[in-house]
Structure 1
Amino acid sequence: MGSSISGKAFNLNALFEKPFYQIDYYQREYAWSADDVRTLVTDLFTAFDEHWQDGRRRWQRTEPEHFFLGPFVYVEESRGVRFLVDGQQRFTTLHLLFMHLRRIADSYRQPTTVDKLNRVIGEFNGNRLRFRIDIDERREFLTRLYNGVRFELDVGAPISVRNMSFRSGLIKELLDQQLTAESCAPFVDWLLNHAVLIGIKAGNKASGFKIFESMNDRGARLTSADLVKSFLISQVGAHQDELNERWRKMLARVTTDREDANAPKEFLKAALIAHYASMGDESSADMREIEEALNIWVRKKAEARVGLKTSEDYFTFVNDLIYLSEHYVRFKKALSKPYLSDNLEAVYYNAVNGLTNQLQLVLAAVRPRDTATDAKSKARLVANYLDRLYVSRMLSDQPLGARDFEAEYRVLIPQLRMCETEPQVAETLAAALPPESFQAIYNFQLRGNNKAQVRYLLTRLTAYVEVGCGKHDLSAEYLNEDRAWQVEHLWPNHPDWYNHEIPERGDFLVLRARIGSLVLLHRKDNASLNDMRFHEKIQRYGRQNNLTAVLDPGHRRNNTFIRDFVNDKDNKDNDLGEHFHDFGTDPKMQTVVASRTELYRRLCQIIWKPQRLGFPTFEPPELAEPARQNEPAPPPRRRPTPNARTAIARMMKHGILPDGVPIFARASNYRATIDGDGIIWLPTGDAFVSVDEAGRAVSGLDKCDGLDFWQVTGEDGATNSLRIIHNNAKADGRLASTQRRR
């Protein structure tokens, strides 16, 4: 190619700590999708969890394995400046990741980690911060992000900046869900030192672009999907030419986005997992090989798993894949917007909620020769099942990542493979639906790590009421990635204004964050209300969505749409009218929260009623007596699923602290207890798996290091933080890791 070429492995520290990167303006815009970002963040945390636990390496290895992020091509422009020929999508995403990690580390008061991240984010020259990826049009956005100042996108914002803004919001939500005070610093160290890219250094730009073209020339480079096709077509005998042409048309169909070169591979992976992968004891290895080495799995398992022996078998298999692809394309389109006319809106909802592998379960229910109507009906049932399961797990504070649903997939995929008809799919899924009264909603509240989930629940409740009152379904607008719609607290963050009713500040903050204290408002309206008191806000609510507007005493008067809504059969049977009303201008906070929470619970029962979702009728679970308007009752004690890997759970398991030990907040003396599984219980009946989130809930802090925040008084009367007790136990060997060497 006319100049020297060399390759070298870089960890992220070496890659970003000193050099600056430039990209020509005519190069491709930053265009990573939400799924691309979710996949990267999920893969990073999965790899991190393989090697670390409780701030230390889990396995006794001299060095954790490196996590490979792929190759990139660059040219050394001058001393300390590199021209990035290929790799800007990953570089830009990693840079955004560093920015949000810095924000979290700063919130947890971890200056050493903040300093490490500052060095890979940029370099100060006087008062001006020069970012490692040094591009003029991005500088204002990155500066505001670094300083924690909101960036308002205008109509003429460059595409790259718009996409960076959207993906930045998603990265924030994903990191807030994953990171705790304990895991933040170890994750940053692991990321900077053990995530690597292979740099291909070209002598000049011309050489660099030739390398880039060589690496990305689709005509010269065989993908795993191409290798699968080559193997299969070679086995079908006389029908090769016919199937080859149909295969090409299939690939054109599934590649709905020209930029998505992985589309054929993603279809084949979903189809093979849905219809052929083992779901038994060896399922993890089987699914992993399909994910990582698709063509190798097909060759190895062609006979054993797929049943391919004769040329006729191969012909039928390829033919079925082609027919299945037509259904897949239809479902793939439903990922990007709610197809209300086809009743496939739940496919979109699941995509918004990050269930990136849902089409594996959907395709398991679909036969290649199903009609479009039958395929859509089956897909609707599967998507509705997943949506209801997601909401149920969300309210119960269970993990919600795509991989956290794989246990259900392994059980259901073999069962769905046996279903030929829509009624059979419905019966299979109905049997798997857990009984759900939605009682857990009484303890559901806005926390530091679940803002996206709260916004989703309010979206569904708000949209249902709006449609019932004769308005359009605005779910897609509420859930849009610009996050223009926000969660609004009915009460301002001023505990002292309400201490006549709720003397304890921590109790007020917990009650203020409960779902019954929250509504959905557009960002501009939310900002305009600011710190208004409840009686001032409700005067402005009359022009908002009906679920919010009903709090305005004048809204329901002479409103025939609301009268028709509460008298609708489903709504009337659930006594919505008893709770769908205003509370006057000066109600008790506890009264409003109890009644609104019960309203939300009843809406959940209607929206996710099995019969409404297409499932057979079955007896609903026994319900607790609902709270009455003038009789606010404490919420039922909901016990979340313990997480044995948290620091506090390990302390309880090893007997470092006794079951039921009282703890108190350092600053306010607010009291709580910890049970034997490491669950933190507040006097309000609210329970937390994370000491960070329990501390955040009663302090009002954006981030809280729970081990520092919570204190314990020992038998000798001495007071220490949970962190001191934890560190002492580690130092004297009482909290030694029990993990076995692999």
Structure 2
Amino acid sequence: MEIQPEKQNLDQTFSNTVYHIDFYQRSYKWDEEPVQRLFDDILYEFEESWKKNPDLDPNRANIDANYPWYYLNTYVTNTVEGRVFVVDGQQRLTTLTLTLIKLAHMAQNFNSPTGPWLESRIAGYSGMERSFWMNHEGHIDVLRALLQGDDPSTIDVASGVTAENLVANFQTISHILDAKIQGQRKFEVFVHYFLYRLVLINLSVDTTHVPMVFEVINDRGVRLKPHEILKGKLLGQIDKRELAAGRYNELWDEQVERLNRFGPDTIDSFFRSWLKAKFAASRGLGVRFDGDYHREIFKRDLNDLLNLDHNALAVKKFIAGEFQYFSSLYNKVLAFAGEETSRFPAVFFNGRLTDMNTQMQLIMSACVVNDPEEDEKIALVSEGLDRAFSLLRLQGQYDSNEFVGRIYEMSAVIREQPADKIRDLLDQQLLAELEERRKTGATELFSYQLFRPMTVDRLTSRFARYFFGRVERYMAQGMGREMKHSIYDLVARTGTRNGFHIEHVLSYNDVNLGHFDGNEELFEVERNRLGAVLLLRGRDNISSSNEPYDEKLRSYANTLYWNETLREDTYKSKLDFLDFTRRESLNFRPLETFGLDEVEARHRLLFEVSKRIWDVV
């Protein structure tokens, strides 16, 4: 028979069966709230009957006659080679075990004859060994310490979150029962009620149908996360002996733990990015993975490619192959996205400075399992994404909604391509986006015609800071110097005292307006062009205020390298700077005045600098 339901009271549930925790089950994660809710229900029913019959002798006949039974829910088991595995319900069963331990302590304090009975429902002999009926392998020492009455504060919980919650919830249960169950008679009546009148339904399910039953139960109860259900549906197909021998469960859990160090939902983000990388050529096709991707994997079109449904051999290959490789790759890219390194700087730019986290999808699309060109592809893809995003911004051709669609097209064209093709393929997509946006044939990745009218008010403030941060970084590297402030600080710090803000070189005053023949409309446009703005730290920005240009020049000393190039003293003794400008063929020059011609000169200089930064010279 495929499913065998059995009604049990707790006296039967915890009597002769050792329950092993199946790989389907999460750690013991109940906290105080569900424990309190469970006891609110149990104690409400108990107290109602106790009030009516407080003098009953505590024996089974009296309890059965006067206390209604209470349904605690269903738990699902699967028996393999004589071992009973809990497929669903271990949170509740574990909490009930902790309650039995607390009741055993109370029996000892009352010198109650229920003590041996309670202890036999916590642990007993299965064959020649004495075991806890609820067998939390890896955390037995914690259960043993609780049973023998150790001070909870001294119990070692280093074995993980299950251990931590075992101790915490035991203390919660202790507070509840100490407050509600007082006096030996009430205690002994409660023990009989607890063991005889609390009822569970056990569903014993054969191995073939465990994944299906597991998913349905969790869809109708407290929902698991998609990766947890996917794990059950995949690993449930593997024979338990092979599962242990191949360490598939451990491999899965290790990868999940590594990724979830970046956040509790990182593993699900990984699967969604991987599926989009490998199986979506458009935004419309990628949307299917934003929800219950664990269902999509087993639909006919994807199963024809992955072949993971009822195919244990393919599942083992997938876990040891695609899953292990690409989750490790995802972990690697996340690490480099968190801190700038010389190895993959563009990964950091995309991940922390411009929020282009779609690089994950593109990088995984380009790579194959155990890719020998992995590092080269990471660099090429991250640089190509940064180049496309930045050059579209700087040419006024960026639309966030359209760019998301372009990411899928990029992903499709670079999918599993060799490294030497990736740069050209990504640049072709940039040209295609420029053509789509302009509705004319685009022949240049970066044109001055589009860059010339770019003003700071057409950019987001964060991207404007990113742009000048990249200029500063380019100059520092070209001169062989350290940056005066990290690029992260230049982009992300915005506080009034030490944050960085955009500064107009041309303040709004009569002197500056005179350089534009009093034409306020022209003046407003020109003062907002990128060539006429700088990045200054908060206090420097405030101090320069609305001063005339010649006075502002003094405040630009010892700020950022780009700002200092306006000053004549920068060109007198700084040989590393002069060598840099000659080597890069850049027309830097000091500016004693700042009018229409000077704005144009600085703007064109920024265009040339940008071409070198994003490698479109």
Q: Where does residue 415 of structure 2 map in the other structure?
A: 417
**TM-fit CA distance, 1:243:** 1.1
Return the letter of the residue paired with 2:490.
Y
Instruction: Give the share of equivalent positions with the same residue, in percent.
Output: 18
1:504 corresponds to 2:519: yes
| Contact 2:344 2:378 survives alignment (8 Å) | no
Matches within 5 A, 1:1-400: 1=37, 222-237=224-239, 239-241=242-244, 242-257=247-262, 260-275=263-278, 277-279=279-281, 284=284, 286-301=285-300, 302-308=302-308, 310-319=311-320, 320-340=322-342, 342-349=343-350, 351-371=352-372, 374-400=373-399
Indicate which of 436, 447, 450 corresponds to 2:445: 436
Q: Where does residue 196 of structure 2 map in the other structure?
A: none
| Contact 1:462 1:520 survives alignment (8 Å) | no
| Contact 2:270 2:327 survives alignment (8 Å) | yes
**CA–CA distance in structure 2, aligned partners of residues 289 and 382 of structure 1:** 24
Matches within 5 A, 1:677-696: none
1:480 corresponds to 2:483: no
1:608 corresponds to 2:617: no
**TM-fit CA distance, 1:449:** 5.9
- Secondary structure of 1:491's match? coil
Q: Where does residue 197 of structure 2 map in the other structure?
A: none
**TM-fit CA distance, 1:479:** 1.6
**CA–CA distance in structure 2, aligned partners of residues 583 and 596 of structure 1:** 10
| Contact 1:231 1:299 survives alignment (8 Å) | no
Q: Where does residue 211 of structure 2 map in the other structure?
A: none
**CA–CA distance in structure 1, aligned partners of residues 387 and 580 of structure 2:** 23
Q: Where does residue 193 of structure 2 map in the other structure?
A: none
Higher helix proportion? 2
**TM-fit CA distance, 1:436:** 2.1
| Contact 1:225 1:264 survives alignment (8 Å) | yes
Matches within 5 A, 1:568-587: 568=583, 571-572=584-585, 576=586, 578=587, 580-584=588-592, 587=593
**CA–CA distance in structure 2, aligned partners of residues 389 and 279 of structure 1:** 19
Q: Where does residue 582 of structure 2 map in the other structure?
A: 567
Compared with structure 1, are the counterparts of its residues 350 and 399 closer, same or farther at alpha carbon in structure 2 (3 Å cutoff)?
farther
- RMSD (Å) for aligned C-alpha atoms: 2.5
| Contact 2:515 2:596 survives alignment (8 Å) | no
**CA–CA distance in structure 1, aligned partners of residues 594 and 415 of structure 2:** 54
**TM-fit CA distance, 1:324:** 1.3
- Secondary structure of 1:521's match? strand
Indicate which of 522, 538, 544 corresponds to 2:537: 522
Q: Please list the CA deviations of residues 564-603 of structure 1 after superposition, one character each: whole Å capped at 9, or x if unmatched.
A: 11122xx12xxx0x2x11122xx25112101101110000
Matches within 5 A, 1:648-659: none
Matches within 5 A, 1:456-471: 456-471=466-481
Return the letter of the residue paired with 2:477.
V
Indicate which of 423, 427, 430 corresponds to 1:426: 423
**CA–CA distance in structure 1, aligned partners of residues 408 and 386 of structure 2:** 17
Aligned residues: 378
Compared with structure 1, are the counterparts of its residues 500 and 594 closer, same or farther at alpha carbon in structure 2 (3 Å cutoff)?
closer
| Contact 1:542 1:550 survives alignment (8 Å) | no
- Secondary structure of 2:224's match? coil
Q: Please list the CA deviations of residues 158-195 of structure 1 after superposition, one character each: whole Å capped at 9, or x if unmatched.
A: xxxxxxxxxxxxxxxxxxxxxxxxxxxxxxxxxxxxxx
Compared with structure 1, are the counterparts of its residues 449 and 426 closer, same or farther at alpha carbon in structure 2 (3 Å cutoff)?
closer
Q: Where does residue 407 of structure 1 map in the other structure?
A: 405
Compared with structure 1, are the counterparts of its residues 221 and 361 closer, same or farther at alpha carbon in structure 2 (3 Å cutoff)?
same
**CA–CA distance in structure 1, aligned partners of residues 232 and 594 of structure 2:** 71
Q: Where does residue 662 of structure 1 map in the other structure?
A: none
Compared with structure 1, are the counterparts of its residues 496 and 552 closer, same or farther at alpha carbon in structure 2 (3 Å cutoff)?
closer
| Contact 1:462 1:546 survives alignment (8 Å) | yes
Q: Where does residue 597 of structure 1 map in the other structure?
A: 603
Q: TM-score, length-normalised on structure 2?
A: 0.57
Matches within 5 A, 1:545-560: 545-560=560-575
- Secondary structure of 1:443's match? coil
**TM-fit CA distance, 1:500:** 5.2
Compared with structure 1, are the counterparts of its residues 451 and 381 closer, same or farther at alpha carbon in structure 2 (3 Å cutoff)?
same
| Contact 1:501 1:588 survives alignment (8 Å) | no
- Secondary structure of 2:534's match? strand
**CA–CA distance in structure 1, aligned partners of residues 574 and 459 of structure 2:** 38
- Secondary structure of 1:381's match? helix
Q: TM-score, length-normalised on structure 1?
A: 0.48
| Contact 2:529 2:599 survives alignment (8 Å) | yes
Q: Which runs of 4+ in 1 moved over 4 A?
A: none
Compared with structure 1, are the counterparts of its residues 411 and 307 closer, same or farther at alpha carbon in structure 2 (3 Å cutoff)?
farther
Compared with structure 1, are the counterparts of its residues 527 and 232 closer, same or farther at alpha carbon in structure 2 (3 Å cutoff)?
same
**CA–CA distance in structure 1, aligned partners of residues 613 and 296 of structure 2:** 41
- Secondary structure of 2:536's match? strand
**CA–CA distance in structure 2, aligned partners of residues 465 and 492 of structure 1:** 26
Q: Please list the CA deviations of residues 431-457 of structure 1 after superposition, one character each: whole Å capped at 9, or x if unmatched.
A: 434222341221111217622222121
| Contact 1:551 1:583 survives alignment (8 Å) | yes
Q: Please list the CA deviations of residues 71-127 of structure 1 after superposition, one character each: whole Å capped at 9, or x if unmatched.
A: xxxxxxxxxxxxxxxxxxxxxxxxxxxxxxxxxxxxxxxxxxxxxxxxxxxxxxxxx
Compared with structure 1, are the counterparts of its residues 520 and 588 closer, same or farther at alpha carbon in structure 2 (3 Å cutoff)?
closer
**CA–CA distance in structure 2, aligned partners of residues 354 and 362 of structure 1:** 15
**Unaligned 5+ residue runs, structure 1?**
5-205, 207-219, 611-619, 621-742
Compared with structure 1, are the counterparts of its residues 358 and 343 closer, same or farther at alpha carbon in structure 2 (3 Å cutoff)?
closer
**TM-fit CA distance, 1:251:** 0.6
**CA–CA distance in structure 1, aligned partners of residues 305 and 408 of structure 2:** 16
- Secondary structure of 2:569's match? coil
| Contact 1:337 1:345 survives alignment (8 Å) | no
**CA–CA distance in structure 1, aligned partners of residues 361 and 609 of structure 2:** 30
**CA–CA distance in structure 2, aligned partners of residues 423 and 397 of structure 1:** 30
- Secondary structure of 1:551's match? coil
**CA–CA distance in structure 2, aligned partners of residues 432 and 338 of structure 1:** 27
Compared with structure 1, are the counterparts of its residues 493 and 350 closer, same or farther at alpha carbon in structure 2 (3 Å cutoff)?
farther
Compared with structure 1, are the counterparts of its residues 425 and 234 closer, same or farther at alpha carbon in structure 2 (3 Å cutoff)?
farther
**TM-fit CA distance, 1:480:** 2.4
| Contact 2:508 2:546 survives alignment (8 Å) | yes
**CA–CA distance in structure 1, aligned partners of residues 272 and 518 of structure 2:** 57
1:447 corresponds to 2:457: yes
Indicate which of 533, 550, 560 corresponds to 1:535: 550
**TM-fit CA distance, 1:334:** 2.1
Q: Please list the CA deviations of residues 531-586 of structure 1 after superposition, one character each: whole Å capped at 9, or x if unmatched.
A: 11110111222212221101112221021111111122xx12xxx0x2x11122xx
Compared with structure 1, are the counterparts of its residues 537 and 588 closer, same or farther at alpha carbon in structure 2 (3 Å cutoff)?
closer
Return the letter of the residue paired with 1:369.
N
Compared with structure 1, are the counterparts of its residues 472 and 307 closer, same or farther at alpha carbon in structure 2 (3 Å cutoff)?
farther
**TM-fit CA distance, 1:331:** 0.4
| Contact 1:279 1:411 survives alignment (8 Å) | yes
